[in-house]
Amino acid sequence: MKSYRNLPELEDFRPYAPSAQGLARASARDYEPAETLTKGQLITSWVCRFIAAGIMLETLYFKFTGAPESVYIFSKMNMEAWWRYGQGIWELIASLLLLTPRYGWAGGILTLGALGAAIVSHLTVLGIAIQGDHGLLFGMAIVTFVCGFIVTFIHRHQIPAYAPMTPY
C-alpha cells in the first residue's frame, strides 16, 4: 500500500467543534468574489451588455405580436408560431441575465446560442437580406453575437466549472 506523507493517523482524528464566536465570525464573512476586472473591461462589458440586451429586447415586440416580418422568417424555416415564441422567451431570459451583474456570463452564453442560430439560419435558409431590409436583421444579429461573445470572454472566469488552459 502506498504511504501518504503529512497525513494524520486516524487515531489522532478529532471532530471540528467551533465555538459560538467562531460560528458568528464565519457567518458574517462575505463570500462574494471580489471584482477582478479592470475599469476598461468593466466598461466594455457593460456597453456590450446594454447593446446586446437592447437589440434583443427590441426584437421581442415583433416576435410576440406576430409582426409580418417575424412570421415570414419563421414560416420560411417551417417553425412558425412555436419557435417564434420559444426564441422570444430565450432572448428575453438572455437579456435579463445580461443586465444582472452576477449572471452576465450566463446571458452571454444564451446570447451566443440564440444569435448563433439566427446567423446560421440567415446563411443557410433565409439569406442576408429579408423582404428588402438590405441585411439590417443580419447585421443586428452579428453585432449582438459579437457583444455576447465579448461579455462571455470577459466574464469567463465566473463560469462554474470553467478550467482555463493558461493562467490569467
DSSP assignments along 56-116, one per residue: HHHHHHHHHHT-HHHHHHHHHTT-TTHHHHHHHHHHHHHHHHHTSSTTHHHHHHHHHHHHH
- Give 114's contacts (C-beta < 8 A, 6+ positions apart): 56, 87, 90, 91, 94
Using a 10 angstrom Cβ sphere, with 0-12 exposed, 13-18 middle and 19 or more buried, the burial of residue 135 is middle
CB atoms within 10 A of CB 98: 29
pLDDT at 8 over 90: no
Model pLDDT, residue 90: 95
Which residue type sits at 88?
G
- 109-122 pLDDT, tens digit per residue, is 999 999 999 999 99
In this prediction, what percent of the chain has a pLDDT beyond 90? 50
* Domains in the chain: boundaries: 39-158
In whole angstroms, what is the distance from residue 19 CA to residue 27 CA?
12
Which residue type sits at 141?
A
In whole angstroms, what is the distance from residue 129 CA to residue 109 CA?
26
Model pLDDT, residue 36: 82
- Residue indicated by cell numbers 439566427: 118
- 34-43 pLDDT, tens digit per residue, is 668 889 999 9
- Residue indicated by cell numbers 470553467: 162
Q: Give the global pTM.
A: 0.76
